[in-house]
Amino acid sequence: MIELSEELKRELEKNDKHVLSVAALKKSEEIEKIAKRIRGRLRRF
């Protein structure tokens, strides 16, 4: 998750502030999926 967020940050810094690339969008979706899985696991405890 850390690697994905760092890659996303670099990608966003390269691009225009108001435009997201497809790769950046996919990385943000993957980060969101991982975060949801982590939240779900934490709720069980």
pTM: 0.75
User: What is the reported pLDDT for 29?
Assistant: 95
**Number of neighbours of residue 8 by Cβ within 10 angstroms:** 19
User: What is the reported pLDDT for 28?
Assistant: 93
User: What is the reported pLDDT for 40?
Assistant: 95
Q: Phi/psi of residue 12, each to 5°?
A: -70, -35
- Mean pLDDT, contiguous 10-residue spans, the chain (45 residues): 91 82 91 95 87
Q: 11-19, long-range: CB within 8 Å, 24+ apart, which pairs?
A: none
How far apart, in Å, are the Cα atoms of 4 and each of 10, 11, 35, 40, 44?
Answer: 10, 10, 12, 20, 25
